[in-house]
Amino acid sequence: MKRKLFTLSGCFLIIISITAFTNIEKTENLDEQKREPKNLQILPKDISSDDLMAIMKSFNYALNVKCGFCHAPQKENPEKLDFASDDNPTKDVARYMMKMTNEINEKHFKDHKKDGVLMQIGCQTCHNGHPDPVMREIG
């Protein structure tokens, strides 16, 4: 499990350092984000809140979306998001994508190092700022 996180955070590292300075989305409902995660199925359950947020922000950046693209609104206060809820089906697509990305890295880029840096793929590799990766017509 720990290894998985490293692989995942490894490929987000560059993205994270960029988002740290651009502040894509102002940190709304901070209390909600800070409490213990209760519905993690892919990420380690004991992940730190900082690491979790860095990964979430890297998703926003890679797909050029906001948190609400994957997270459903709260029932009692639809202005806010219910991060633990699975009511938004896009969240499960994202889980599938996280698994797939890990699998591709495990299978094809396990020890691919260039100048000591692990060369692996991340969401950004395919999405490049689009919710749906676009294929350019050839010719």
Q: Does 25 bind ligand HEC (CB under 6 A)?
A: yes
Site residues (CB under 6 A) for ligand HEC, limited to 53-92: 56-57, 59-60, 63, 65, 67, 69-71, 83-84, 90-91
134, two tokens: 């676009």
Candidate list 42, 51, 73, 118; residue touching ligand HEC; CB under 6 A: 42
6, two tokens: 């490293």
Question: Which whole-number Å values give the CA distances from 102 to 7, 118, 123, in the listed order?
Answer: 7, 14, 10
**Distant-in-sequence, close-in-space partners of 101: CB < 8 Å, separation ≥ 6:** 8, 11, 121, 122, 123
Site residues (CB under 6 A) for ligand HEC, limited to 87-116: 90-91, 93-95, 97-98, 101
Distance, in Å, from the CA atom of 132 to the CA atom of 111, rounded to the nearest integer, reads: 29
Contacts to ligand HEC by CB under 6 A: 25, 33, 37-43, 56-57, 59-60, 63, 65, 67, 69-71, 83-84, 90-91, 93-95, 97-98, 101, 121, 123, 125-127, 131-133
